[in-house]
Every structure is written in structure tokens, then in C-alpha cells.
Structure 1
Amino acid sequence: MKLSVLDLAPVIAPADPAAALEQAAVLAQTAERLGYARYWVAEHHDMPGLACTAPEVLLAHIGARTQRIRLGSGALLLPHYKPMKVAESFHMLATLYPGRIDLGIGRAPGGSAHAAIALSGNFLGNVSRMPETLQALMDFLHQRYTYEDQPVTARPLPAEPPQVWLLGTNTKSAAFAAQHGAGYVFGHFMSDADGAETIAAYREQFQPAAHMAEPKAMLAIAAICAETEEEAKRLAAESQSWFRLPSEQNMPQGSGRLLTGTPDSLRVQLESLGRICHADEYLIVSPVPDYEKRLRSYELLAALK
């Protein structure tokens, strides 16, 4: 079972944002030690409970404090940005940390309507241009971009470009991923669907590319693991009360699909989901509102690999 970590960089009282970012680095180092495949960090804006506004900056810091684990965004919210700048940032990361960088892309606003407008103006208009923006980004990442018939290069050029993934919860995002030969991550913890239909559509439509010859699918799962079922349920209750705060105060809404249990019971749950959805990997966020217990959850989950 291939497992990876998704971190929202939560600011858990009495920690301040600086302490929360230090805990992000500790989680990445722990994930590397435990043999997780990837450490990804999300992007959200103007949420006091989260310290993940700039994934590329945090990943640069964490890359210097780890050695092997792949690092990526889960997800960088592409409608807010110009494709060349995104390609330059992730080319820089891939040059600093060869063979370790993933560029996970999403198209959600990542915050309130007012925050989205402050960040990039007409967000809905930007989303409507997502096909063109994504195509330009892929062209920059693979040195195909031209403007007025003149090549434009997003430098520095790494020896190995970032591996591109699209994150979503519907067949539209799956189709984008398939069209561009990218990996696909289904946001199980953000959706009422199990993802089987969406991932199947991705696999059926996948167009092989030089950078990814075969489809690769992940499930993004919310899971809390503990030594006993009772402890897992107790932590889940704490997590649910924390999750259900208004989105502008803490975590995003829509996080009700939380798996809980011991390593043995979670293995059964994850294997069942994997069979239904034909997933190659699980990207796990463990939303425990206590840093030490969150680490313990990931330590226990590592036994599933």
C-alpha cells in the first residue's frame, strides 16, 4: 500500500503560525523517516487556522530539511496565477531538489470570495480560462511555449521536470488530467462520491505522454489512526468539532468523510476503497488537532505500507 502525506499546516492553539510551520517541517521529516512516498502541502488564503498560503515557499524550506521524500503542492490553485510564474517556481524547486518535486494543481478559490478577488481579481473568469492556462503551463514545463512565434523559457531548467498531478472531485478535472498526461488525485474527503466513476473516466481518457506513460491515480483521504477504536473515535470527535468551525476561521468545509480506527481496521477500509476506485496510492490528511497525536496517527498508518 503506497501512502503519502497531505498537510494543511494547521495552526493549533496555543501554537502561532511560526510554530505551525515548524510542525509542518517536523511532519515532513517524520514522513520521510517512516517511508511515506510524498509530502504535499495545501494552499488556502485568509484562514487564521491554516498557515499554507504559499506552498512553493514552504516546500523550499522543507526541501532543505529533508533528503529523499518527494515534495509537492496539494494543490496549487492555478486560476490565481500566471502559468510562467508557476513553471518558474516549480522549475526552481526541481533544480534545488532533483527528482523530488510534484506540482499538484487545483482550481478552487482556496478561501472566501473576497480573498479570491483580492488575490487574482475575477476568479470565475480565471476558472473559465483554465483549459488555456493549463495548456500554457504544460507548454512551459516541457519547453514548448511560444509567444508571437518566439520561444519563451521558464528558467532555470531542471534535469527532471516536476511531476504534474491534477486534484479534483469530478469528471471535468479527471478529463483535464487525462488530456495532459498528468496524474490524477480524487478528493475523497471533499466529496460525497467514492471516486470510482471519476477515476475510471480518467483512466479511459488518459493520453500517454513522455513525462507520464501510464495513468496514475491517488485518493486523497482523511484518516485518523490510533491504538484502539475508542481512542480513534475520541480523536475523531475532537477533529469534527474543529473541522466544523466556519471556513474563514479554520479548516475548509466539506470534510465529513473521515475514516477512523486502528491500523488493522483502517487497512480494511483503505483496501476496500482502493479496489472500488482502482487507486494506486493514498494521499492522507490526518486532521488531529494536536501535533503530537497527529504524528502518532501517521506513525501508526505507516504500518499499512
Structure 2
Amino acid sequence: MSGITLSVLDLVPRLRDHSFEEALEQATNLAIHAEKWGYKRYWAAEHHDMDGLACASPEVLLSHIGARTRTIRLGSGAVLLPHYSPLKVAENFRMLAALYPNRIDLGVGRAPGGSAHTSMALSGNFLANVADMPNRVQALKALLKDSYTYEDVPVTAKPVPRIPPQLWLLGTNVKSAAMAAEYGAGYVFGQFMSDTNGAEVLTAYRQAFQPSSLQKQPRSMLAIGIICAQTEEEAIRFAEQAVMPGTERQEGQFENDNDNRLLIGTPEQVRNKLLDISVQVQCDEFLVFTPINSYEERLESLRLLAGVMLEPINE
């Protein structure tokens, strides 16, 4: 309809005292509906020891969702690479790519995903691991193109799928964009977590992009918060109760003069804002984060948005 591609970013929240099991089933339900409504991708985030979030292992959740869906691309938003061996990450996502051909995205980021003590329990000195991030991304890229060596001995991440996973880097600043451009990976700018101008960051990524064996042209997405409802007043009410990463919002703060972190309104209002933003940032794909404190209303927001932006998949 609009010429814009929409995808879903799910933090896999545990809402209103629901169990972790219910949160994971709701994540699966969200992916199933997103596929039916025409969203291109479902991405799950990774967090650790956080009572309100249920996904510590995106690759396990994606394997389950892959068996319950047919066409939607599945990915991580993101695997927190400083915590892990690049080889193990490559093996996990090549396994997924072999199970679900041409459907797997490997998004990586550098955030801790939990408290300082949780991060230390998970992988030791997190700051040292973050400093090693460029080397880990380089190793991951080499593993995905079967050119990795350890002490000059070839090491292959197996299984080797017929169609490899797509590599994406996620970030909220020019530094992460520069890394994605240098390694020839896709890039997702987390607008919903940043006050930085997304247009500037994505322009810097495109200008610095170096073609690679992974992809020949730059490929970017803008991750953005969206709350849709039948009326503007209802959307604002949902937004008053929303929890946005990296910020504290006060009750009564919202009027419908939103910045680009969180778009609020009727489907038509949000559609018009997205079209304007797509021109500003030269981006034709949005990764939609929906911070509504109800599973049913979250689904309804995504359904309403799809209704004015996407072509549903015929059963």
C-alpha cells in the first residue's frame, strides 16, 4: 500500500503479572499475527535477569516460532555479542538458517542487557569485552563467509546452510553505524532509544558503506516506537502507561506533538508521520516497537497499523 516495509521488534515483555510462560506464548502469538498481517520480520530482543522481560535466549525462542510460522523472517534484535564467542553465535544462527531457509536475520549489538553483576556473571569483564567488539564482529563476519582461522587453522561454523543468515548491527550512534558500514553489514538505528537524529546516522552509514561478501549495497532500518489506536485520545492514554527504554516519562506528558522516538495516534496519523520520516531519513523499512502495557492492545495497535500500511498475506 505505502511502499514502506514494516517489521516487528519484540522485547518479549512480561506484562501485568503474567507468567514467563505466558509472555513467551504471547511472543509466539505476536509473530504469527505479524506474518498474517504482512510484516516482513519478527525480531526478539535479548535481556538477562530482568523481571519484566522474558527472553534471555532469542535463538531458542526463534526456533520455536519458526516451527509455528511459514514465511516471516526471524531475527535477533539483538544478540549481545560482547558476552559470547563469535563461533557459537555463528553456529546458532547457521543452525536456524538451515532449519528455516532464507528466513533468518542475525542482529548483533553491544549493550549489556542487564545489571553490572548479571553481566559479570554472564561473561566476566564486560567493559573489556565491549572494547573487543570490533574484533568479534570481524570474526563473526569471517565465520559467516567461511574464511575464519584460529592460529592459522581454518575453523568452520557448522552446519553450513544453503542460504546464510543476514548480518545486521544495531546501535544508537554514529560509531555503531561506522562499524556496520566498515564490515559491509546491514544497520538498524534504534531511534526509540535515542535522541540522536536518525537521518544523520543513516546518512553516515550509507556514505561510509563498504561492499562485502555479505551484501553489495547498504541496507538500513529505523527502529521506532509506535502506538496506534482507533482514536488519538486512546492512543495517548496507552502512551501514558508505556515504558520506553532509556527514559522516564511522567503522567500527562503526552500530547500529540511527538518526536521521532514514539509515534502516537490513529492509524492514519501514524501512517502520515511514517511517510514523512521515511523521506527525512531515506529509509524504506521500519522496525516497530510497541510499548503498550497489554498484550491484546499491543496486537490491536499492530493490526491497525498494518491495515493502512501493508498487504495482508492470503491464507
> Shorter-normalised TM-score: what interval?
over 0.9
- Of 97, 101, 104, the residue aligned with 1:101 is 104
Aligned partner of residue 260 in structure 1, secondary structure:
strand
Q: For residue 255 of structure 1, report the CA deviation from its aligned partner.
A: 7.3
Residues 191-238 of structure 1 deviation map (CA, whole Å, 9 limit, x = unaligned): 012211111110001011233111111100011001110110111112
- Of 294, 299, 302, the residue aligned with 1:295 is 299
Other-structure match for 2:138: 135
Matched, 1:16 2:19: yes
CA distance in structure 1 between the partners assigned to 2:138 and 2:221 by the alignment: 22
Point out where structure 1 has 5 or more consecutive residues left out of the alignment: 245-251
- Contact 2:170 2:188 (8 Å CA) reproduced: yes
Superposition map of 1:26-37 within 5 A: 26-37=29-40
- Contact 1:39 1:69 (8 Å CA) reproduced: yes
Other-structure match for 2:225: 222
TM-score with structure 1 length normalisation? 0.94
CA distance in structure 2 between the partners assigned to 1:57 and 1:129 by the alignment: 26
- Contact 1:41 1:55 (8 Å CA) reproduced: yes
Other-structure match for 2:170: 167
- Contact 2:145 2:213 (8 Å CA) reproduced: no
Taking a change above 3 Å as real, the CA distance of residues 226 and 29 of structure 1, as seen in their structure-2 partners, is: same
- Contact 2:173 2:196 (8 Å CA) reproduced: no
CA distance in structure 1 between the partners assigned to 2:177 and 2:104 by the alignment: 21
Letter in 2 for 1:253: G
- Of 204, 212, 216, the residue aligned with 1:209 is 212
RMSD: 1.1
Aligned partner of residue 32 in structure 1, secondary structure:
helix
Matched, 1:304 2:309: yes
- Contact 1:190 1:255 (8 Å CA) reproduced: no
Letter in 1 for 2:176: S
Residues 237-269 of structure 1 deviation map (CA, whole Å, 9 limit, x = unaligned): 121xxx27xxxxxxx433763210011110121
Other-structure match for 2:246: 253
Other-structure match for 2:236: 233
Residues 168-206 of structure 1 deviation map (CA, whole Å, 9 limit, x = unaligned): 011110011111111110100100122111111100010
- Of 264, 269, 276, the residue aligned with 1:272 is 276
- Contact 1:41 1:73 (8 Å CA) reproduced: yes
CA distance in structure 2 between the partners assigned to 1:221 and 1:148 by the alignment: 42
Other-structure match for 1:249: none
Aligned partner of residue 64 in structure 1, secondary structure:
helix
- Contact 2:10 2:43 (8 Å CA) reproduced: yes
CA distance in structure 2 between the partners assigned to 1:14 and 1:227 by the alignment: 26
CA distance in structure 1 between the partners assigned to 2:105 and 2:85 by the alignment: 18
- Contact 1:224 1:297 (8 Å CA) reproduced: yes
- Contact 2:97 2:103 (8 Å CA) reproduced: yes
CA distance in structure 1 between the partners assigned to 2:50 and 2:197 by the alignment: 28
- Contact 1:102 1:164 (8 Å CA) reproduced: yes
- Contact 1:216 1:280 (8 Å CA) reproduced: no
Q: For residue 78 of structure 1, report the CA deviation from its aligned partner.
A: 0.4
CA distance in structure 1 between the partners assigned to 2:304 and 2:184 by the alignment: 34
CA distance in structure 1 between the partners assigned to 2:190 and 2:151 by the alignment: 38
Q: For residue 29 of structure 1, report the CA deviation from its aligned partner.
A: 0.2
CA distance in structure 1 between the partners assigned to 2:232 and 2:44 by the alignment: 28
Count of aligned positions: 295
Other-structure match for 2:252: none
Aligned partner of residue 222 in structure 1, secondary structure:
strand
- Contact 1:189 1:254 (8 Å CA) reproduced: no
CA distance in structure 1 between the partners assigned to 2:299 and 2:81 by the alignment: 30
Q: For residue 276 of structure 1, report the CA deviation from its aligned partner.
A: 1.4
CA distance in structure 1 between the partners assigned to 2:248 and 2:203 by the alignment: 23
CA distance in structure 1 between the partners assigned to 2:119 and 2:278 by the alignment: 34
Provide the identity percentage.
60
CA distance in structure 1 between the partners assigned to 2:127 and 2:292 by the alignment: 33
CA distance in structure 2 between the partners assigned to 1:255 and 1:7 by the alignment: 20
- Contact 2:82 2:133 (8 Å CA) reproduced: yes
